[in-house]
């Protein structure tokens, strides 16, 4: 394996995340934002972690109201992508609330990661929670 071949292996996932980009796609399934070596996941009014009912979301420059939930990046061992690093942070809760890697946010984000990989036809790698 090489860095180049490993990035090509993940290309279908990033390509699908780009098609489901929250910035430009108003579809309810469009809650992703692709990067070079991973992607972000955003909560929307109709698709968000379990206890977000009181969270106020705004569209800003995106295609629909949303709030940031999680980041996923490739985890490397040498020149091989072996796992996915996952971290959640809910800015909408403010500084006075626990908002990093809450169980409900992690569970929701894991479901979204697995769904994205399955739809892209790529085997989902193990998820490692970043602390």
- Could you tell me the pLDDT band of residue 92, with boundaries at 50, 70 and 90? confident
In this predicted structure, the answer to whether residue 55 has a pLDDT above a threshold of 90 is no
Report the DSSP pairing between strands 67-77 and 38-43: antiparallel
Distance CA 90, CA 70 (A): 8
Name which residue leads in pLDDT, 98 or 47. 47
State the pTM of this model. Answer: 0.94
Distance CA 35, CA 7 (A): 12
- Could you tell me the pLDDT band of residue 1, with boundaries at 50, 70 and 90? low
Distance CA 36, CA 56 (A): 29
Give pLDDT tens digits for 70-79.
Answer: 999 999 999 9
Give pLDDT tens digits for 25-42.
Answer: 999 999 999 999 999 999
From first CA to last CA, the distance across the chain in angstroms is 28
Average pLDDT of the segment spanning 94-120: 92
Buried-exposed string 51-66: b where 16+ CB fall within 10 A, e elsewhere = ebeebebeeeebebbb
In this predicted structure, the answer to whether residue 91 has a pLDDT above a threshold of 90 is no
Name which residue leads in pLDDT, 120 or 55. 120
Q: Is 91 within 8 Å of 77 (Cβ atoms)?
A: no
Distance CA 3, CA 101 (A): 29
């Amino acid at each position: 394996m090489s860095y180049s071949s490993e990035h090509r292996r993940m290309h279908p996932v990033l390509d699908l995340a780009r098609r489901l980009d929250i910035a430009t796609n108003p579809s309810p399934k469009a809650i992703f934002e692709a990067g070079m070596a991973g992607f972000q996941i955003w909560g929307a009014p109709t698709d968000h972690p379990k206890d977000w009912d009181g969270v106020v979301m705004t569209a800003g420059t995106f295609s629909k109201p949303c709030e940031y939930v999680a980041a996923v990046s490739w985890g490397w061992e040498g020149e091989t992508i072996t796992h996915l690093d996952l971290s959640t942070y809910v800015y909408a809760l403010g500084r006075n609330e626990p908002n990093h890697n809450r169980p409900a946010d992690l569970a929701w984000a894991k479901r979204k990661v697995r769904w994205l990989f399955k739809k892209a036809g790529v085997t989902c790698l193990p998820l490692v929670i970043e602390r």
